[in-house]
Structure 1
């Protein structure tokens, strides 16, 4: 798993950013009527059911080795149960824009975690610089005015940061499935079964989900879209990209705000401001630094 990513990996990240770019919108609609743990539980349970059907139709079965299911449990906890619950609760307390800025901390935590726990993804100056440039671009694009909210509702913002750390740990931990010979779709299917086993009882115990009033059709549609597009399909692509890009897959969180803003302009007719274009350009610069091919080309031309 090299620091440089090929065109296939970048295409996967772009597509994944579109799927995950809509997740903040879907959650924003659903969380006004459904408690956060219940949304997270429904999200992973629906995704688990969908992926089991897809696995059957594809002729794949889940491996039943103990080490694989132990991996599914830890991966489901780090990639789903912890971050989904924390982010959904945080979005009921702070603006989605601020949550997405904090979500862009994921690559920063990831390069640090990968440096400590891996032998082949050590921290390099270009990689760290690229991540910091990309984070700056996210902040510029979404709006520095949201940063004035930092320091208020610290508990919710801390929950977002813990969620991003969990994503970073999950990305590094999930690399083990390649060594175990588990296909990306199998990883996603097993992970969602494990996270459902964690979140469904928790939601029933903490929020008494059966007592919740029937949500409106827009809220139901948002939860279904969240489960089908952002979760079932999204995590299959996530693990597929991971097989060629390693923990660099978490760079998608720098692209998610770009996709969310472009979707808002294309679908909802929202106006693009100069800061949006400036932020996108800065993010692109950061990603070029991380990719490494431009720097390699410059070094070769000098040589």
Structure 2
């Protein structure tokens, strides 16, 4: 992969890792569902402006409305809501680690629902290691050794499962330009989250959040969603889906670093151990390292 693509991959990993930090700061002052609405609505407006500049608005057709709503529900509304709910109680680093299980759940969902994922030995091993890593991370809360609420961690795992369902559903958008699909799903999720935000914002007003919180909201919408989607789709087109998937390994590491540096977050031994097992599982699931080792002459 060329140096340009490696730079894009690392930048994307740090942006999406930073998203967990932005959310952690903002959700302390803004109700979770309201925060989700602002994130998707801001990103939608930015991408609509970009589509207009590029002459791609004509591809947003009403015939795709139901598919956009479904994709917005699975890829934005549900996972963002669950992650922000979880982050009201757990740190940015732990949330990002639990969300890094998305490739594991993607293999499981694709195998069960579409049977399009070939369950090769390395994929089975990667899934088993991923599940084992999650079990280790959750064991502290289950045994009382950790104070992080179990429900908040399960919310993050639920978000990963929703992302996995979205990845399977997204195959039907192959005929659309990627930026159009991203904009369409953000339009769908904005429509879904508007009534939810209004219904859950009772007693809260825009003036209740500080300037710092609003800056993090803008960062979530513009940088971590709209700008990140543009980088991701460029990376997909230039480096392919397999190379783009490496961002999964960078996001939790960058979120852990930002959480430690800026918020002073720390993980317990079980959480770090589970993260290590999960990372090994993701590498095994990817399969490239194993193929290179197997290809070396003896």
Shorter-chain TM-score range: 0.7 to 0.9
Partner of 1:292: 287
1:223 aligns with 2:217: yes
1:117 aligns with 2:109: no
Change (3 A) 1:286 1:31: same
Contact 2:41–2:186 (8 Å) recurs in 1: yes
2:52 to 51, 56, 60: 56
In structure 1, what is the Cα distance between the partners aligned to 2:142 and 2:228?
A: 30
Shift of 1:148: 2.2
Shift of 1:9: 7.7
Contact 1:38–1:209 (8 Å) recurs in 2: no
In structure 2, what is the Cα distance between the partners aligned to 1:79 and 1:129?
A: 26
Q: State how 1:122-141 maps to structure 2 within 5 Å.
A: 122-130=118-126, 133=129
Partner of 1:71: 67
1:205 aligns with 2:204: no
1:255 aligns with 2:250: yes
Shift of 1:176: 1.5
Change (3 A) 1:263 1:210: closer
In structure 2, what is the Cα distance between the partners aligned to 1:162 and 1:283?
A: 17
SS at match of 2:57: coil
SS at match of 1:123: coil
In structure 1, what is the Cα distance between the partners aligned to 2:265 and 2:90?
A: 23
Which blocks of at least 5 consecutive residues in structure 2 are unaligned?
A: none
Change (3 A) 1:101 1:132: farther
SS at match of 1:155: helix
In structure 1, what is the Cα distance between the partners aligned to 2:7 and 2:280?
A: 17
Shift of 1:53: 0.8
Partner of 1:92: 88
Contact 1:43–1:227 (8 Å) recurs in 2: yes
Contact 2:34–2:200 (8 Å) recurs in 1: no
1:148 aligns with 2:140: yes
In structure 2, what is the Cα distance between the partners aligned to 1:239 and 1:120?
A: 22
In structure 2, what is the Cα distance between the partners aligned to 1:54 and 1:300?
A: 45
Change (3 A) 1:281 1:155: closer
SS at match of 1:93: coil
SS at match of 2:30: coil
In structure 2, what is the Cα distance between the partners aligned to 1:81 and 1:269?
A: 26
Q: After superposition, what is the alpha-carbon deviation per residue over 1:44-87, rounded to whole angstroms, capped at 9, x for unaligned?
A: 00000000111111222142444422221111000100111111
Shift of 1:150: 4.5
Which blocks of at least 5 consecutive residues in structure 1 are unaligned?
A: 1-5
SS at match of 1:122: coil
In structure 1, what is the Cα distance between the partners aligned to 2:76 and 2:156?
A: 13
Question: Could you state the TM-score of these two structures normalised by the residue count of structure 2?
Answer: 0.79
1:107 aligns with 2:87: no
In structure 1, what is the Cα distance between the partners aligned to 2:236 and 2:203?
A: 34
Partner of 1:162: 158
- The size of the alignment, in residue pairs, is 289
Contact 1:76–1:195 (8 Å) recurs in 2: yes
Change (3 A) 1:202 1:136: same
In structure 1, what is the Cα distance between the partners aligned to 2:134 and 2:14?
A: 15
Change (3 A) 1:249 1:81: farther
CA RMSD, Structure 1 to Structure 2 (Å): 3.7
Shift of 1:101: 3.0
Change (3 A) 1:291 1:107: closer
Contact 1:62–1:186 (8 Å) recurs in 2: no
